Structure 1
Amino acid sequence: MEWKRYLEKNSLKLILVGVLAAMVGMAVAGGGIAYADKASFCSSCHSMKYVATTWQASNHRQFTCGDCHLPQENIVEKMMVKNQTGIHDTYHEFLRDYPDTIRVSGKGRAIVERNCLRCHAYTVQTTFMSTGGQSCTKCHRGMIHGHIVVKEGVPVE
């Protein structure tokens, strides 16, 4: 049988198979993205267990790690940052050379600041913070994760 005739005869079946495969692929990718945003995923690393514990005790425990630590403006930027930070964190987790005190990077701090303002815009608009250039985390640094010093994933007393 010739390919041309086969494609003409079975084109609808091939299109349906392609659409089904795309739907399954999107569902798997979407589920993976949603799972990777959860605290259970983030805290699966030894170095993040204590950070997750302090978050669990905070008044922001209803939010995922990604709600605060990843850009929310568009999915492309969110996924790029998630991949960059995931590779960075996995590298240091694998080598077990994470610092005693886990600190957010300058880029990460800017993302957190934007997300603070995204959620708290109404509250901030009536304060000196509304003029811009201020830092939420300067005053509220220990609000979510406490003031933590961690050695190999365990808090240091």
Structure 2
Amino acid sequence: MCSLGEIAMEWKKYLEKNSILLMLFGALAAVIGLAIAGGGIAYADKASFCSSCHSMKQVAATWQASNHRQFTCGDCHLPQQNIVEKMIVKNQTGIHDTYHEFLRDYPDTIRLSAKGRTIVEQNCLRCHAHTVANTFMSAGGQSCTKCHRGMIHGQVVVKEGIGVE
């Protein structure tokens, strides 16, 4: 069993000048690491990042022509309830998209998965709750994308003289 004096001597070791410098360096490294991670997360949420893949160029062009162009891809396509869930889904979809981009096997028309559709629906209702509050949509179980499917990515865009559906 350690005596009180021995415990005090151990603490003195940790509070020496070199130990304090190491703790400050560790804290600084943690802050810099969090800033870099936060910057990377913010960059990966932008349309410029999402549209950097060949298969997303058409999707980005139709989004840019929509009334929702002020929102990021993540605002609609990622859960917004908490950061942990958002990062898990971002990683899952990022790995999926990178895999299919690498194989170049994306279909001509990209469709939402069932999970993706649920996330988009939740985000529609999150932003437009006031709009649907006194309609049949407020009862739940309805689909925003059933009627408004082409609102964001289904518009015809003219880019370099070519009509894109």
**Cα distance, 1:7 vs structure 2:** 6.7
**2:113 corresponding residue in structure 1:** 105
User: Match of 1:11, as an amino acid?
Assistant: S
Q: Does 2:163 correspond to 1:145?
A: no
**1:151 corresponding residue in structure 2:** none
CA-based RMSD = 2.0
Of 50, 75, 88, 1:67 maps to 75
Q: Do the aligned partners of 2:79 and 2:85 also contact (CA within 8 Å) in 1?
A: yes
Q: Do the aligned partners of 2:14 and 2:20 also contact (CA within 8 Å) in 1?
A: no
SS at match of 2:16: helix
Q: How does the TM-score come out when normalised to structure 1?
A: 0.89
**2:88 corresponding residue in structure 1:** 80
**1:129 corresponding residue in structure 2:** 137
Which stretches of structure 1, 4 residues or more, deviate above 4 A after TM superposition?
4-7, 154-157
How many residue pairs get aligned? The number is 149
Larger relative contact order (CA 8 Å, sep ≥ 6): 1
**2:38 corresponding residue in structure 1:** 30
- For 1:6 and 1:114, the matched residues in 2 are separated by 51
User: Match of 2:82, as an amino acid?
Assistant: N
- For 2:155 and 2:99, the matched residues in 1 are separated by 24
Identical amino acids, percent of aligned pairs: 83
Q: Do the aligned partners of 1:54 and 1:144 also contact (CA within 8 Å) in 2?
A: yes
Q: Which moved more, 1:108-117 or 1:10-19?
A: 10-19
Deviations 1:116-151 (CA, angstroms, capped at 9, x unpaired): 000000001011100000000000000000168xxx
Of 19, 25, 38, 1:17 maps to 25
Q: How does the TM-score come out when normalised to structure 2?
A: 0.85
- Give 1:37-76 correspondences, 5 Å limit: 37-76=45-84
- For 1:62 and 1:156, the matched residues in 2 are separated by 21
**2:128 corresponding residue in structure 1:** 120
Runs of 5+ consecutive residues of structure 2 not aligned to the other structure = 1-11, 157-161
